[in-house]
Amino acid sequence: MKIEEKRLKLISRISNVENEDALNEIERILNLTEKLEFNFEAEWEKGLTPNEFLEEMKKRINAWPWER
């Protein structure tokens, strides 16, 4: 289904909703999606190099109470 068809289908379904709780839930979801913001550059800076990742995984694995 193309995006335009999906959009029209959703609009027609939402326009027929009469339940106030359902409308409040739709509004809540829309407000959540408006607040979502992803800054790729900032997340990239917080990332680990492959060597840092391996060291972190070794620490986490060794922290488990393994039976020896």
In a domain, 15, yes or no: yes
Question: Which of the four pLDDT bands, split at 50, 70 and 90, describes residue 29?
Answer: confident
The amino acid that residue 8 corresponds to is: L
Tally of structural domains, the chain:
1
What pTM value is reported for the model? 0.42
* pLDDT digit string, tens, across residues 32-68: 876 777 788 988 999 999 999 999 999 999 999 987 6
In a domain, 28, yes or no: yes
Boundaries of domain holding 42: 3-63
- Residue whose tokens read 């995006």: 3
In a domain, 23, yes or no: yes
Contacts of 23 (CB under 8 A, 6+ apart): 17
Burial 12-30 (b: 16+ CB within 10 A, else e): eeeeeeeeeeeeeeeeeee
